[in-house]
Amino acid sequence: MAERAERPELSGGALDLLNRFLAQLSAVKNASPKTVDAYRRDVSGYLGFLASHWGGPLGKAALAEVGAPDIRAWIAAERGRGLSARSTARALSAVKSFHRWLDAAEGVSNSAIAAARGPKVKARLPRPVDPAAATALIDDAADNDEPWIAARDAAVLTLLWGCGLRISEALSLKLQDAPLPEALRIVGKGGKERVVPVLPAAREAVNEYLRLLDHPGPPDMALFLGARGGPLGARAVQKTMAAARMRLGLPATATPHALRHSFATHLLEAGGDLRAIQELLGHASLSTTQAYTAVDQSRLMEVYERAHPRGGRG
């Protein structure tokens, strides 16, 4: 992806509006620092483009006058700098959020922004790991000369696959959460809380890890520790999974997050209700969960084409 060109520095009214919008995201919407940073980049890029495009200062009055040609010019500039359709669509979404805030907080409405459409983005289907490969990955990741590290890696990956946790959610567990109950209360993205059933295999894996760890700390200490004693980081889990998939000859799509995809797909294949799966995954929108139906249908067609007497090409 190409680097973004430098934009003129924002000042005055535009900078003040941007900072207030970001403060609202953080304080009211409970957005994570990474999310706030992403909005900062996208909206400041948009405002910087307008300042350059118009050759003048930006304020509320100017932002009320942004028209469809201005939006098209900004989108073209984004694409011209090498941004993908997906990244440009995300930036437009951030800009629309900014203008919605302007309308609500400052009474500055703009119908052109609300009607703007970004480039078409081809939907990405989740790429789950099949059950045999998931089991092999967990077994391989648990093959470590240090027994407690082997047990730790097995426990983390089992939680991702067996409970559908995000890697950040698994690593945010504290020592006081163990032994794991039959159901965990998880706080996910945007502070959204959900209750997730814990399989016996996941509880047993965590218990075995703690047995081998053999030096419990205070209750608020991270449950999963790194080799040097601090909290285990996501990057370490990703590297462990990458090494395991290379040894097993699995594709690069076999990531820790793919185990979460597998959790959802396996539930759907077993007849799970889409709404219930949405709750278990902590998706804010059902449309996000519905991507798994496409995966399920794709697999069904593969089976049909292999098994049906007239399904093959012959």
Predicted local distance difference test score (pLDDT) of residue 152: 94
pLDDT in tens, 130-182: 778 888 888 888 777 889 999 999 999 988 887 778 888 889 999 998 888 88
Identify the weakest region by mean pLDDT among 228-237, 264-273, 297-306.
297-306
| Catalytic site residue from 20, 40, 189, 194 | 189
pLDDT in tens, 102-120: 989 888 888 888 888 877 7
User: d(Cα 226, Cα 147) in Å, to the nearest integer?
Assistant: 13
Confidence of residue 281 (pLDDT cuts 50, 70, 90): low
> In this predicted model, which residue has the larger pLDDT, 65 or 299?
65
Q: Catalytic site residue 211?
A: no
User: d(Cα 105, Cα 107) in Å, to the nearest integer?
Assistant: 6
Q: Which of 67, 71, 68, 50 is nearest to 59 (CA)?
A: 50
Do 202 and 180 meet the contact criterion of CB atoms below 8 Å apart? yes
Q: Catalytic site residue 122?
A: no
| Catalytic site residue from 203, 260, 261, 266 | 260
Q: Taking the CA atoms of the chain, what radius of gyration do you get in angstroms?
A: 24
- 183: which DSSP letter? E
> In this predicted model, which residue has the larger pLDDT, 11 or 40?
40
| Catalytic site residue from 39, 46, 209, 292 | 292
Q: Catalytic site residue 166?
A: yes
The dotted CATH code for 12-115 is 1.10.150.130
pLDDT in tens, 3-38: 344 445 566 678 888 899 999 888 877 777 888 898
User: Residue 121: pLDDT above 90?
Assistant: no
pLDDT in tens, 186-225: 777 777 777 777 888 888 999 999 999 877 678 889 999 9
Predicted local distance difference test score (pLDDT) of residue 306: 46
Predicted local distance difference test score (pLDDT) of residue 267: 57
Query: Hey, where are the domains in the chain?
Result: 12-115, 131-306
Q: What is the mean pLDDT of residues 39-55?
A: 88
| Catalytic site residue from 40, 79, 257, 299 | 257
- Name the phi and psi angles at 28, rounded to 5: -95, -45
Domain 131-306 homologous superfamily, CATH: Intergrase catalytic core (1.10.443.10)
Q: Catalytic site residue 257?
A: yes
